[in-house]
Amino acid sequence: MKQPATVIAHCDANSFYCSCHRVFEPALLRMPVGVLSNNDGCVIARTPELKAIGVAMGTPFFQVRRLMEQGQIAIRSSNYPLYGDMSERFMSVLEGFTPEVEVYSIDEAFLRFTGFPVENWEAQGRAIQQKVGRWTGLPIGVGISTTKVLAKLANYAAKHYPATGGVVDLTDPERQKRLMAITPVDELWGIGRRLAPRLKEQGILTVRDFANLEPSQAKRQYSVTEERLVRELRGENCLPWDEEQDGNKHTIMCSRSFGLPVSSEKEVWEALATYVSRACEKMRRQGKAAAKAQLFLRTDPFRKDDGQYHGSLVLQIPQASASTSIWLRETHKGLKRIFREGYQYRKAGFVLLDIGSQTTEQGDLFTVRPPSQESSKPELTDVLDSINNRFGNNTLKVAASGNKPARWHMKQNYLSPRYTTQWSDLATVRCKL
Ligand SMILES: [Mg+2]
């Protein structure tokens, strides 16, 4: 078979939140596992075993409490510092395979290989899967093809058909056709819940039926989004490649569209908390800090029948910081100010601004420092972070942050340790001699 010039791999961690817990508690590998929303409200992540016993997304915790107490299932509070850190590790393993990595969400990324002389893409996919497994402990699926949409489709097959072992090479056009013919159209990435029934009414039942539409027809009948999907399925790259991996930027943005519209403040906050963790981890990796950030949320501008709202707010803290807990607290306060009930939200984001800038704010404990260190930056927060990292959150805190604990109050009765971001929470290994 002729080698395609550009190959795209889509990597996705299986049941990401739950898998993070399993890495540090191997006993959970033999149990159905679920993760709760903030305040231990409801189930927001499940392993396939938990799905299989009928626990739906959003099930209130009290309904599964008994099963947990009987030891039939394991439940954990959400642990965003752990997920953010595991995500960073996952992504950095991927970066070892190609310089072109586009992080799509906390547990998903696209890898682009341009002009790589790879003989066997399936073997390449397995190598990625193995390395991520060995270096992070996370199980992942890998779908490989020539466009993003096809790579996503390949990964759908990798998940759906256990015989694939979680890796599918879909670079061969014949193979693409065969898979499309047996895949229901609503499994295709980008086909919304509203569109699927409409397509089915029109006799478009499989992905192949959809791919057989003329692009111009798809545009006329549906929209430019569907036209692009059709083109991508035909092997034409038309989704943009997002280059946000530049380490020298003065801003770090973490924002994603939600898979489904979200209307409750709690759910928006859950998404935001993840983005804040990720952005702060990234900033710390660059050894920088920020005193300013922007937070936004908005409805879907394409859903004209729905009410529209766009809220945004600049957050400012007195002392530049890269501390996740400080930014989480500020973001939570900010969200309270801009959130409005009664809208269907589609996207939220958190952007750290003026990264690396120093603050001239006075009045905290560390303002006086030896002249020899005057040029090192961003000085104080580094000290703060490293002391807090070493001895636990809030060992030291900026006076301006007041007497409130920096980790804002959440109900987290089943919280696991922050294995990878807190010295005091490191896992202990015991062995018999
Ligand atoms: Mg996943």
Would the pLDDT of 196 be above 60? yes
At a CB cut-off of 8 Å and minimum separation 6, what does 92 contact? none
Mean pLDDT on 380-407? 50
Whole-number Å distance, alpha carbon 45 to ligand 1 midpoint, is 10
Q: Which has more pLDDT, 133 or 245?
A: 133
Distance 18 CA to ligand 1 centre (A): 10
- Calculate how far, in angstroms, residue 317's C-alpha sits from the geometric centre of ligand 1: 34
Q: How many CA atoms lie within 13 A of 268 on its CB side?
A: 29
Centroid of ligand 1 to alpha carbon of 42 (angstroms): 19
Q: Is the pLDDT of residue 313 over 50?
A: yes
- Ligand 1 centroid–CA 11 distance in Å is 9
What mean pLDDT is predicted for residues 380-395? 60
**Buried-state track 160-188, b at ≥16 Cβ within 10 A, e below 16:** eeeebebbbbbbeeebbeebbeebebeeb
pLDDT of residue 41: 87
- pLDDT greater than 60 at residue 400: no
Q: What is the pLDDT of residue 382?
A: 60
In the reported structure, the alpha carbon of residue 381 is separated from the centroid of ligand 1 by a whole-number distance in angstroms of 34
Domain limits, CATH 3.30.70.270, in the chain: 1-171+403-433
The pLDDT, as a whole number, for residue 180 is 98
Q: Are 241 and 114 in contact (CB under 8 A)?
A: no
Higher pLDDT, 274 or 189: 189
pLDDT at res. 357: 47
CA of 414 to the centre of ligand 1 (A): 22
Domain 1-171+403-433 fold is Alpha-Beta Plaits (3.30.70)
Q: What are phi and psi of 275, to 5 degrees?
A: -65, -40
Residue 350 phi/psi, 5° resolution? Answer: -135, 125
Residue 393: which pLDDT band, with cuts at 50, 70 and 90? Answer: low
pLDDT for the residue 245: 41
* Order of all β-strands in the sheet with 33-36: 43-46, 33-36, 74-77
Tell how far the Cα of 431 is from the centroid of ligand 1, in angstroms.
33
Nearest CA-CA partner of 322 in 293, 361, 348: 293
Per-residue pLDDT tens over the stretch 82-113: 888 898 899 989 988 998 888 888 899 999 99
Answer with the residue of higher pLDDT: 391 or 120.
Answer: 120
**Ligand 1 mean position to 115 CA, how many Å?**
28
Neighbours of ion ligand 1 (CB under 5 A): 12-13, 16, 107
**Location of each CATH 3.30.1490.100 domain in the chain:** 252-402
Give yes or no for residue 28 having a pLDDT over 80. yes
Residue with tokens 């039926």: 209
Report the predicted TM-score, pTM, of the whole model to 2 decimal places: 0.65
Tallying the residues shown for the chain, one arrives at 433
What architecture is domain 252-402? 2-Layer Sandwich (3.30)
Please report the pLDDT score of residue 383 as a whole number: 63
